[in-house]
Amino acid sequence: MTTPAAILLRYSPAPADAAAIERLAAEAVARYPGRFERVDANRALDGSHLYLYFWSSDPAMSDAALAGELAGLADRQMPGAARDVLYLAPVQDLPGASRGETARYHYVVETDVRPEVAEDLDGWYAQEHLPGLAAVAGNIRARRLVAANADGSQRSLACYDLTTPAIKQDPAWLAVRATEWSGRVRPHFQNTRRVMCERVYALEPGKGAS
């Protein structure tokens, strides 16, 4: 399993035009052959957000010009839709207990990372939190990525591909969230956003769309 980076187009609210999302993914893959290994779109269950990821293991993904070009394509397909563009660098990528199953849901936890607690938060995710949640049945893949904020701090995104949104009520999931280390780290989260999404579209070049 590769550990891809991503360019994320994050919309709020989620655009209503599902066909435009599909056209955008197809256009990006055609325009940049071999660059993307996967594109997937994830719509918040309450319609508040859409997370549209362009995944790639190509180091050129870090090129700000590419992110700008993708944003331009997006604006032509979905004019007027409010969106942010984030380059996400991979930090951690773990197979889940249900790896190999179809990911119908996607859960995202975003937070700003204060520099003075960054080391503790990194250790918590790496040693306890991400491995613990990955081990819960229904979790297909667990990963963490970071983006740079304008002030030089980091925006952390923990992303989980899931078989069901009900996993958040699973006792095993709740136990991982209730540890002493979790209780120490979580109060330092800032500008936190937790979003449960349905995967509404996925495209893998050479394999087609789903």
Strands 105-113 and 154-162: antiparallel
Amino acid 63: pLDDT: 72
Cα–Cα distance measured from residue 39 to residue 209, given in angstroms and rounded to the nearest whole number: 9
CATH code, domain carrying 201:
3.30.70.100
Q: Give the pLDDT score at 58.
A: 76
Return the pLDDT at 66. Answer: 87
The pLDDT of residue 72 is 95
Q: How many domains does the chain have?
A: 1
Q: Give me the phi and psi of 133, to 5 degrees please.
A: -70, -35
Its domain, for residue 180, covers: 5-209
Give the H or E element holding residue 134: helix 130-134
Residue 2 is predicted with a pLDDT of 62
- The string over 84-100, giving b where at least 16 C-beta atoms fall within 10 Å of a residue's C-beta and e elsewhere, is eebbbebbbbbebebee
Residue 22: both structure tokens together: 């599909």
Coil vs helix vs strand at 29: helix
Running along the chain, 210 residues long, what does each successive block of 10 average in pLDDT? 84 96 96 93 98 86 82 95 94 98 98 92 98 99 92 92 99 98 96 98 86
pLDDT for the residue 187: 94
